[in-house]
């Protein structure tokens, strides 16, 4: 009788301590992306610089692509741009999914020309890793992807399926741990399948 009196609270307390201890190392903002292992949602969006050019899902077929969601208004994006540029010089294909904060689709006051001007200024200053920028005018595609802010980076494979969804900036540590292994594997597959196109994507 005396035994259980001490053992039960002790066990309960230990369990509670263990539970709370685990909580110290969990990130409440971390949650599984719903976009993973799914094909890129269908979209049809204009080029940021040349609105008459319309991109569809075709831009992701037969190529391994990193889709970077960004905007000039986003501070962290400016931090990662030089590193992305470095990676693109090593042959990584980057496509930008651009969205603007001030350009409210319903009550917009900012002109497209001004957005373009800002983008050119930023990329001239910090580097331009992007093959091209898709302009997510109404931010619909971002919403379909489950994007909560910028920057976010997606790794899209040759079949147009999203394989990695990273929230936050892309830095050497994140690249090495989260992207590089899968990226290299996908690139190895690609060079096996499309031998003549092996050098594609090199600057």
Partner 1 sequence: MNHLTRSLFIIVSMWSLLTLSGLLFSHDVQATQENYAFASEQQRQDFKRLTKELRCPMCQNQNIADSDAMIAHDMRRKVYQLLSQGNDHDQVIDFMKQRYGDFVYYQPPVNNSTIWLWILPFSVLLIGGWILFKRRPEISHTDEQVEADLLAKADEMLEKDK
Give the interface segment with partner 1, choosing from 17-25, 27-35, 51-59, 116-124 (CB under 8 A): 27-35
- Taking each helix axis as running N to C, give the angle between helix 112-126 and helix 75-89, from 0 to 180 degrees, rounded to the nearest 10: 60
Give whichever of 35 and 126 is closer to partner 1, judged by the CB atom: 35
Could you say whether residue 139 binds partner 1 (CB under 8 A)?
A: yes
Which one of residues 10, 17, 75, 143 is an interface residue with partner 1 (CB under 8 A)?
143
Which one of residues 88, 119, 133, 146 is an interface residue with partner 1 (CB under 8 A)?
146
Coil, strand or helix: which one is 152?
strand
Q: Could you tell me where the beta strands, DSSP code E, fall in 75-195?
A: 94-98, 130-135, 152-156, 162-167
Give whichever of 152 and 175 is closer to partner 1, judged by the CB atom: 152
Could you say whether residue 28 binds partner 1 (CB under 8 A)?
A: yes
Structure tokens at 93: 């294909």
Size of the site for partner 1 (CB under 8 A): 21
Could you say whether residue 23 binds partner 1 (CB under 8 A)?
A: no
Could you say whether residue 184 binds partner 1 (CB under 8 A)?
A: no
DSSP 5-37: HHHHHHHHHHHHHHHHHHHHT--TT----SSTT
User: Least distance from C-beta 68 to partner 1, angstroms?
Assistant: 18
User: Least distance from C-beta 83 to partner 1, angstroms?
Assistant: 24
Could you say whether residue 15 binds partner 1 (CB under 8 A)?
A: no
Could you say whether residue 145 binds partner 1 (CB under 8 A)?
A: yes
Query: At 17, phi and psi to the nearest 5?
Result: -60, -45
Structure tokens at 193: 């399948």
Could you say whether residue 178 binds partner 1 (CB under 8 A)?
A: no
* Cβ neighbours for 64, distance < 8 A, ≥ 6 positions apart: 93, 155, 156, 157, 158, 183, 186, 187, 190
* Cβ neighbours for 198, distance < 8 A, ≥ 6 positions apart: 190, 191
Give the interface segment with partner 1, choosing from 33-41, 49-57, 108-116, 176-184 (CB under 8 A): 33-41
DSSP code at position 168: S
Which one of residues 2, 25, 90, 106 is an interface residue with partner 1 (CB under 8 A)?
106
Biggest CA pair distance of the chain: 82
Residues that bind partner 1 (CB under 8 A): 28-29, 31-35, 101, 104-106, 139-140, 142-149
């Amino acid at each position: 009788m005396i035994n259980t009196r001490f053992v039960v609270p002790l066990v309960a307390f230990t369990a509670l301590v263990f539970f709370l201890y685990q909580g110290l190392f969990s990130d409440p903002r971390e949650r599984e992306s719903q976009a993973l292992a799914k094909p890129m949602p269908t979209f049809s969006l204009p080029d940021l610089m040349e609105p008459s050019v319309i991109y569809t899902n075709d831009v992701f077929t037969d190529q391994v692509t990193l889709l970077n969601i960004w905007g000039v208004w986003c501070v962290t994006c400016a931090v990662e741009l030089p590193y992305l540029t470095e990676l693109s010089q090593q042959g990584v294909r980057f496509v930008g999914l651009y969205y603007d904060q001030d350009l409210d689709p319903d009550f917009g006051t900012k002109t497209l020309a001004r957005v373009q001007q800002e983008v050119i200024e930023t990329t001239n200053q910090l580097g331009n890793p992007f093959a091209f920028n898709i302009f997510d005018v109404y931010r619909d595609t971002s919403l379909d992807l489950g994007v909560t802010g910028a920057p976010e980076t997606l790794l899209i494979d040759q079949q147009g399926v999203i394989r990695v969804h990273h929230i936050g900036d892309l830095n050497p540590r994140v690249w090495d741990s989260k992207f590089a292994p899968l990226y290299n594997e996908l690139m190895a597959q690609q060079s096996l399948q499309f031998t003549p196109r092996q050098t594609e994507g090199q600057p």
